[in-house]
Each structure stands twice: as structure tokens, then as C-alpha cells.
């Protein structure tokens, strides 16, 4: 089987970039496909600054013939693809195009109008999947995962620092969430990584970008790691990849309230309503660091067992076998 994994290039710290490259490795080494290519295109999103393109290990979409692939996995890619009639197209939706982010109510018809033609939709939102299934559209829930090479530990540290780590961008569509969950942490030793932190109030906390290979160590050794989801994603129950990255690194996770996280990972992390509750939860975590470390290490064991690129590659292959035979 020949597989092409297609996405926009979001930058080296993006979940899409890390997951695309990890999935390629898993398909090649674990599933043993004949050929797996990581294909990238420039992202038509005016809220993002230009990033280095096409990135290490990626192939630019203009240079490759997608018609020769048996499966094309479109990773949060929002345009129709030039594929053959026999190509099985999967849309793995972990983010929405800008025109869908402002709608208060999700509908399958609006979603399908904004997405490329696909034989199967995978999504990290059970709400979106349920709507698609009700509309008789092939769909399955599939959360994101941790890259087992970047986010893995064999032993949590005995002592953690007093820093609060947040890796993410301060972009327009995340603005309200940033104010509610990140800004309250300015009174502590807050460390911000990624891009977009141009406002003067972030100047002391901003530490620049970090190499992807450093993130696991940052999460493991931080006092607390913030997990923050854009408001529209939280309303839809979309599960952010940082949840898996932090827990996979045995990091102490303080996450905004997303139903799937609470139901499936709640015993390994702490949830917050934001604002004053974030301040209260931070103080509680720093006051009970031993228990926080124990929960984090149990969480790492779960992530490495059930939520890595190898687990997702197996699940995707199973879904391909089930749905391809229905065509």
C-alpha cells in the first residue's frame, strides 16, 4: 500500500507537523507500507505568520503526483486533492478552516461544504463525528496522540522547577482562551514558547521558539504545563495534542475543561475553569507536588500504551479496511 499524508505546514512546533511525521514513521516501520510520503502545502490562513517551508523531511505538494497513491490522508487540509478515482481519501480533522470557527452551532452541511471530498472523515471531536454519522457520512472519532520519540520518559524527575510552561501561539482565534487561562499565570514564573507573543505584557515570560526535540524535556521538568484549547475547539470537544504530549512526557498538566479529557484522562491531570480558578489550581499543584508527580507518571504510562503514533496507525489501517470495502 502507498500512502501520502498531506497537510499545510503549520511550523515545526505544531501538532500537525509532529503528528504527520510520526504517523509516516509508524506506517513505514509498524504497518510496513510500501511507500509513505509526508506532503506539505502553504497554509491559506491569514492569522498565521509565514513559516519556514516546506520543512525538514517533507515534500512540497506541487512536486508530487498524488494519483499514484492508494490512500491519501489529508491532515486538517481544506482543499480538494488531485487524486485518481481509485484513491481512498481520508480527512483527519483536528482543526477547522477559518470560515467555520465563528459559527456558534455546528452543522454537517456547513462542515462538508468547507472540506475536501473524502471517503472517510476522522476527527478529534465526538460532536462533529456524531453529526456526520447522523447525516450518513462515513466518520469515526480519532483523537490525536504523542510522538513516542519526542514525548516519552522512563522516570519522572524527583524535583521539578517552579516554572509554568505553555507552548502555543497567541493568535486571534485563541485570544479569549489566552486571556482566560494563560494571563492569570503571569503572576507566577510563566514561560511561553512558540510565536505571536508580541504584546508588551508577555515580554518577560516569552522565551522564544523551542526545538521540537526539546519539548519533552521542558514538559517533564516544568512545575506545571498548561493545556489551552481555542474556544471554538473547546465548544466542539476537540482534544488538543498538547494533552498527549505533556502527559506522555510525565508532565504535570493543568488543562482547560474538555469533556473527553475529563472523562478519559481526568485522573492524570488537573482541570480548570480559567481566571481565578486557574490561580487556585496552580497554588494547589505547587503545594502538593509529590501527588502531582505520581499522577503525571501514571499518565505517561497510559499515553505510551494507548496514545502514540503506533496506536493511531493501527486504528487508521483498521478503519481503511472497514470503510474501503463499502465503496
Q: Are residues 140 and 190 in the same domain?
A: no
Establish if 157 belongs to a structural domain. Answer: no
Q: Starting at the earlier edge strand, list the strands of the sheet with 88-93.
A: 59-60, 35-41, 2-8, 71-75, 88-93, 120-123, 139-141
Q: Are residues 218 and 320 in the same domain?
A: no
Full-model pTM: 0.91
Q: Are residues 302 and 318 in the same domain?
A: no
- Grade residue 105 by pLDDT with cuts at 50, 70 and 90: confident
**Domain housing 320:** 2-145+308-324
Q: Are residues 314 and 298 in the same domain?
A: no
**Does residue 313 contact residue 27 with C-beta atoms inside 8 Å?**
yes
Model confidence over 216-266: pLDDT tens digits? Answer: 999 999 999 999 988 888 989 999 899 999 999 999 999 999 999 999 999
Average pLDDT, the chain: 88
Q: Are residues 273 and 284 in the same domain?
A: yes
More confident residue, 107 or 106: 107
Establish if 122 belongs to a structural domain. Answer: yes
Distance CA 193, CA 67 (A): 39
Model confidence over 295-305: pLDDT tens digits? Answer: 999 999 999 99
Q: Are residues 57 and 114 in the same domain?
A: yes
**Does residue 40 contact residue 8 with C-beta atoms inside 8 Å?**
yes
Establish if 227 belongs to a structural domain. Answer: yes
Model confidence over 149-172: pLDDT tens digits? Answer: 999 875 656 566 789 999 988 766
Q: Are residues 265 and 315 in the same domain?
A: no
Q: What is the pLDDT of residue 51?
A: 47
Model confidence over 10-54: pLDDT tens digits? Answer: 766 677 778 888 999 999 998 878 899 988 887 655 444 444 444
- CATH number, domain at 35? 3.40.50.2000
Domain count for the chain: 2
Establish if 154 belongs to a structural domain. Answer: no
Q: Are residues 233 and 210 in the same domain?
A: yes
Q: Are residues 133 and 182 in the same domain?
A: no
Q: Are residues 281 and 317 in the same domain?
A: no
Amino acid at each position: 500500500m502507498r500512502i501520502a499524508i498531506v497537510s499545510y505546514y503549520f511550523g515545526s512546533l505544531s501538532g500537525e507537523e509532529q503528528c504527520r511525521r510520526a504517523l509516516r514513521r509508524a506506517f513505514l516501520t509498524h504497518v510496513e507500507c510500501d511507500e509513505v510520503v509526508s506532503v506539505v502545502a502553504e497554509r491559506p490562513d491569514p492569522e498565521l505568520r509565514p513559516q519556514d517551508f516546506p520543512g525538514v523531511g517533507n515534500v512540497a505538494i506541487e512536486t508530487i503526483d498524488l494519483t499514484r497513491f492508494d490512500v491519501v490522508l489529508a491532515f486538517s487540509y481544506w482543499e480538494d486533492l488531485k487524486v485518481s478515482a481509485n484513491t481512498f481519501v481520508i480527512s483527519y480533522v483536528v482543526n477547522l478552516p477559518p470560515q467555520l470557527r465563528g459559527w456558534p452551532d455546528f452543522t454537517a452541511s456547513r462542515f462538508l461544504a468547507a472540506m475536501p471530498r473524502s471517503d472517510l472523515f476522522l476527527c478529534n471531536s465526538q460532536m462533529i463525528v456524531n453529526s456526520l454519522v447522523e447525516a450518513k457520512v462515513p466518520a469515526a472519532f480519532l483523537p490525536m496522540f504523542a510522538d513516542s520519540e519526542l514525548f516519552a520518559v522512563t522516570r519522572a524527575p524527583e524535583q521539578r522547577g517552579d516554572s509554568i510552561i505553555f507552548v502555543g501561539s497567541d493568535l486571534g482565534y485563541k485570544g479569549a482562551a489566552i486571556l482566560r487561562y494563560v494571563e492569570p499565570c503571569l503572576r507566577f514564573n510563566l514561560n511561553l514558547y512558540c510565536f505571536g507573543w508580541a504584546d508588551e505584557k508577555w515580554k518577560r515570560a516569552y522565551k522564544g521558539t523551542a526545538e521540537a526535540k526539546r519539548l519533552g524535556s521542558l514538559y517533564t521538568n516544568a512545575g506545571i504545563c498548561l493545556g489551552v484549547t481555542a474556544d471554538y475547539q473547546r465548544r466542539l470537544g476537540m482534544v488538543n495534542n498538547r494533552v498527549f504530549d505533556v502527559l506522555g512526557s510525565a508532565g504535570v498538566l493543568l488543562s482547560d475543561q474538555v469533556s473527553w479529557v475529563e472523562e478519559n484522562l481526568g485522573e492524570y491531570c488537573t482541570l480548570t475553569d480559567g481566571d481565578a480558578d486557574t490561580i487556585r489550581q496552580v497554588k494547589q499543584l505547587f503545594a502538593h507536588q509529590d501527588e502531582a508527580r505520581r499522577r503525571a507518571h501514571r499518565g505517561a504510562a497510559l499515553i505510551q500504551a494507548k496514545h502514540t503514533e503506533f496506536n493511531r496507525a493501527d486504528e487508521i489501517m483498521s478503519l481503511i479496511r472497514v470503510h474501503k470495502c463499502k465503496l
